[in-house]
Amino acid sequence: MFKPAPTDLTGKTALVTGASGGIGAAAVAHFAALGATVYATDIADSFDGDATYRAFNLLDNAGLAAAQDWIADIQPNILFNNAAIFDMGSVLDADLDQFDRLFGVNVRAFYAVMQSTAKAMVAAGKSGSIINLASQAGHRGEALVAHYCATKAAVISYTQSAALALAPHKIRVNAISPGVIDTPMWKDVDALFAKFENKPLGQKKQEVGDAVPLGYMGSPDDVARAAVFLASDQSAYMTAQTIGIDGGNVLR
């Protein structure tokens, strides 16, 4: 007899990093609405959402270690591994300070959070779902986004390796690659493009939205709905995959 898989997350414990941003905040709201107990973290001092919140600076060794201890305590069985920072610069412009900052958060801290969550799941004997946030930038280089593209390519690679390593423990690991999503961060991204490409403010944002095959920028809710799919039993037989939520920008 046909039995549909539920998206209900009642009884699940979810951790969302980068929770103060548009995508992270949307994930918190969606997980909580579907019954999960949600824990959230970001660098901001406070958070307005349906979650237990702690602030950590993941670029700082002490902050990252404290976050890892917190993860061991809360024992999540869903991780939305979203914390990341953005900056721009071509290979001629992007120096090693920028490299250290972007790789420090987007790869080093990302990996430490994923590893700590996986260890907590294994120690508790829990199956679970780890959802890593990549980007369309991780599938192709971009002239002005050298370090950021490389960090997101690393996220995709680590997702595949972790999925294979954790499969015997019934822990699934997948990634989401958002395209151009209309979040508050786009104000800063647009300003950087205005600087590097000598464009008026707002022009780049309009251009990238118009260039999407579907004709517009996505919303944080578009990404959060994919996260719900990956967190729930809807995707029970899915691991080591990267889903593009990009309106058709990248053909895989």
- Each residue of 44-64: pLDDT tens digit? 999 999 999 999 999 999 999
Tokens of 241: 């995959």
Which domains does the chain show, CATH number per domain? 13-181+219-245 (3.40.50.720), 183-217 (no CATH)
What is the model's pTM? 0.96
Helices of type H across the chain: 22-33, 61-74, 96-103, 110-124, 146-166, 185-197, 203-211, 220-231
pLDDT over 90 at 3, yes or no: no
Determine the angle formed by the axes of helices 110-124 and 146-166, rounding to 10 degrees. 10
Clarify whether 148 is annotated catalytic. yes
Determine the residue type at 47. F
pLDDT over 70 at 1, yes or no: no
Mean pLDDT to the nearest integer, 149-162 = 98
- Arithmetic mean of pLDDT over the chain: 96
Q: Mind giving me the DSSP string for 151-174?
A: HHHHHHHHHHHHHHHHGGGTEEEE
Give dist(CA 200, CA 131) in Å, integer: 36
Residue-wise pLDDT tens digits, 71-95:
999 999 999 999 999 999 999 999 9
Give dist(CA 34, CA 166) in Å, integer: 26
Q: What are phi and psi of 95, to 5 degrees?
A: -85, 180
Residue among 148, 158, 216, 237 flagged as catalytic = 148
Give dist(CA 20, CA 42) in Å, integer: 6
